[in-house]
């Protein structure tokens, strides 16, 4: 597993070097447009190589926090993007062009939403002040290897799994620049960040409590957390922030605004070892607070990921006895019943959750599956069509739509959506077969026939098909 991780990071580093070679052409005058291009290229490489978590609920949560803080700032002229890095390192960083990255390890480690918001606010301080652009402007005498080493260390946080990859880069000339960067900019990012945080309504003391939490991690594990490597001077930062709290930010704020952090943390993808550790921690906390609905929910989600569905349902049922209209608990209960092939029970809980929140696309998809499993194909189709254009994390929705139309004896629509499904799966011959079959069920020159003919022409025309082949490679 470690070797696989190292190979993945080496592939990523090759992408980072390519980005920096582009940046090298802009070192003399690193413009806003240069920042946008480099930032987007960097983001695209992370995304394409599956280094970013794509869970919509988690990303919506991070983005809502980010946008709330961003609204309190005089932002740089970028369209900001907030992403979660699939890494257990406790770290966060900002890249050129308005891209903010939070590692899943940091989200898992914080105690409150305000602490998480404080980290995002700090990174927004770096981004709005264009600190990375300043670094590049001053780096005209550094070679690409030195710049790559700086970015590599920032991204990976000095984790053990990155040792082999970082060794490929020369650190010559980089140390003084790194120290200078931190000393010149950390204080400004802290000053901007605490201002953003307080104005957004969060508890400003969270800035200090997070740094103390990081220091505790260092003491417990006896290894330096990634955040301390990329954001050094923690003791000085605590002293500086405490001064601001005593003199300027004396009004209390909230620890939780957007949503309950304890509901988000269980959604993070963790290893089996981390899941078992989280289960033990949650069980210990629940023993002290047996009627805490958030803990019951978090433990149930963790148990479900560990394959302990019965134990998960038991904790969810207790949570429902305490909070019968809790949408998250109802939804999770329905999802577990659906996974256990108990469609009738799944429908009951999923429908109750949908009655509370009719805008949840994941709920509609799950309801569609439950209705399909119980042979109510019309209701299944209605739910699938409702999320046809929604970014739900599942197999291509066209497959479910095609199956439902088939069960309802609409062969033309069934073949058409099977065609879309296979087209999206890059299986052009199968797609062509279904599109041609679909034509047999629609009048010639009808609107639907015209749409299908366009699909057939696109797949049959080598010039039209060429971009698809290139993309798949």
Query: pLDDT-based confidence at 372, cuts 50/70/90?
Result: very high
**Distance from C-alpha of 457 to C-alpha of 432, rounded to nearest angstrom:** 9
The total of other beta-carbon atoms located within 10 Å of residue 307's CB is 10
User: To which residue do tokens 């052009």 refer?
Assistant: 428
Residue predicted with more confidence, 332 or 228: 332
Q: Could you report the per-residue pLDDT of 6-63, keeping only the tens digit for each?
A: 444 444 444 444 444 444 444 455 678 877 887 887 788 778 878 899 888 899 999 9
Lowest mean pLDDT among 19-28, 192-201, 330-339, 341-350: 19-28
Q: Are 271 and 305 in contact (CB under 8 A)?
A: no
Query: pLDDT-based confidence at 137, cuts 50/70/90?
Result: low
Give the pLDDT score at 335: 96
Give the CA distances from residue 338 to residues 173, 366, 378, 396, in Å, rounded to whole numbers and listed in that order. Answer: 57, 8, 18, 19
Give the pLDDT score at 368: 96
Q: Is the pLDDT of residue 134 over 80?
A: no
For residue 82, which phi and psi values (nearest 5 degrees)? -115, 125
Strands 99-103 and 81-85: parallel
Among candidates 325, 356, 413, 353, which has minimal Cα distance to 365? 353
Three-state DSSP at 248 gives coil
**Distance from C-alpha of 294 to C-alpha of 291, rounded to nearest angstrom:** 9
Q: Could you report the per-residue pLDDT of 223-281, keeping only the tens digit for each?
A: 667 777 777 778 888 998 999 999 999 888 999 999 889 999 999 998 898 899 999 99
Q: Which residues contact 456 (CB under 8 A, 6 or more apart)?
A: 432, 435, 436, 439
Give the CA distances from residue 240 to residues 34, 130, 157, 178, 286, in Å, rounded to whole numbers and listed in that order. Answer: 33, 22, 24, 21, 36
**Distance from C-alpha of 81 to C-alpha of 63, rounded to nearest angstrom:** 8
Give the pLDDT score at 296: 97
Among candidates 375, 322, 367, which has minimal Cα distance to 345? 367
Q: Could you report the per-residue pLDDT of 180-209, keeping only the tens digit for each?
A: 445 677 888 899 999 999 999 999 999 999
Q: Could you report the per-residue pLDDT of 66-88, keeping only the tens digit for each?
A: 999 999 988 778 899 999 998 88
Give the pLDDT score at 462: 59
What does the mean pLDDT of the chain come to? 83
Among candidates 215, 290, 206, which has minimal Cα distance to 256? 206
- Tell the burial category of 393 from Cβ atoms under 10 Å away from its Cβ (0-12, 13-18, 19+): exposed
Q: Are 273 and 280 in contact (CB under 8 A)?
A: no
Give the pLDDT score at 143: 45
Beta-strand runs (E) in 32-140: 81-85, 92-95, 99-103
Give the pLDDT score at 154: 54
DSSP sequence for 323-385: -TT-HHHHHHHHHHHHHTT-HHHHHHHHHHHHHH-TT-HHHHHHHHHHHHHTT-HHHHHHHHH
Among candidates 100, 98, 97, which has minimal Cα distance to 119? 100
**Distance from C-alpha of 9 to C-alpha of 152, rounded to nearest angstrom:** 10
Q: Is the pLDDT of residue 414 over 80?
A: yes
Q: Is the pLDDT of residue 466 over 60?
A: no
User: To which residue do tokens 């069509």 refer?
Assistant: 385
């Amino acid at each position: 597993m470690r070797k696989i991780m190292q190979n993945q990071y080496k592939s990523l580093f090759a992408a980072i070097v390519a980005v920096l070679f582009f940046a090298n052409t802009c070192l003399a005058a690193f413009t806003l447009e240069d920042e946008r291009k480099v930032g987007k290229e960097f983001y695209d490489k992370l995304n394409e190589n599956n280094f970013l978590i794509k869970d919509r609920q988690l990303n919506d949560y991070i983005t809502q926090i980010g946008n709330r803080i961003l609204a309190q700032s005089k932002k740089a002229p970028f369209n900001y993007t907030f992403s979660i890095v699939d890494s257990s390192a406790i770290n966060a960083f900002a890249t050129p062009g308005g891209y903010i990255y939070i590692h899943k390890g940091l989200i898992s480690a914080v105690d409150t939403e305000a602490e998480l918001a404080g980290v995002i606010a700090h990174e927004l301080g770096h981004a709005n002040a264009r600190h990375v652009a300043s670094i590049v402007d001053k780096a005209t005498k550094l070679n690409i290897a030195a710049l790559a080493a700086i970015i590599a260390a920032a991204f990976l946080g000095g984790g053990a799994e990155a040792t082999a990859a970082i060794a490929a880069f020369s650190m010559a000339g980089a140390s003084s620049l790194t120290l200078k960067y931190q000393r010149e900019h950390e204080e400004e990012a802290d000053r901007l960040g605490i201002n953003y945080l307080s104005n957004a309504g969060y508890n400003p003391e969270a800035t200090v409590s997070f740094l103390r939490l990081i220091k505790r991690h260092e003491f417990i594990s006896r290894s330096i957390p990634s955040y301390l490597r990329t954001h050094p001077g923690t003791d000085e930062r605590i002293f500086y922030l405490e001064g601001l709290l005593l003199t300027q930010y004396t009004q209390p704020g909230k620890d939780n605004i957007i949503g309950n952090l304890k509901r988000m943390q269980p959604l993070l993808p963790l290893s089996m070892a981390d899941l078992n550790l989280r289960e033990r921690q949650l069980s210990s906390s629940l023993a002290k607070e047996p009627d805490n609905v958030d803990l019951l929910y978090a433990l149930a989600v963790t148990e479900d990921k560990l394959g302990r569905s019965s134990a998960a349902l038991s904790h969810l049922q207790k949570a429902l006895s305490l909070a019968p209209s809790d949408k998250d608990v109802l939804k999770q209960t329905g999802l577990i019943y659906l996974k256990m092939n108990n469609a009738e029970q799944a429908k009951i809980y999923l429908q109750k959750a949908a009655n509370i929140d009719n805008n949840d696309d994941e709920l509609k998809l799950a309801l569609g599956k439950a209705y399909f499993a119980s042979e109510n194909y019309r209701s299944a189709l209605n739910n699938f069509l409702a999320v046809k254009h929604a970014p739900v994390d599942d197999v291509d929705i066209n497959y479910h739509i095609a199956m439902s139309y088939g069960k309802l004896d609409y062969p033309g629509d069934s073949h058409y959506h099977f065609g879309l499904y296979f087209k999206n799966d890059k299986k052009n011959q199968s797609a062509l077969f279904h599109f041609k079959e679909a034509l047999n069920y629609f009048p010639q020159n009808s609107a639907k026939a015209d749409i299908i003919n366009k699909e057939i022409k696109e797949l049959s025309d080598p010039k039209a098909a060429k971009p698809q082949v290139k993309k798949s490679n």
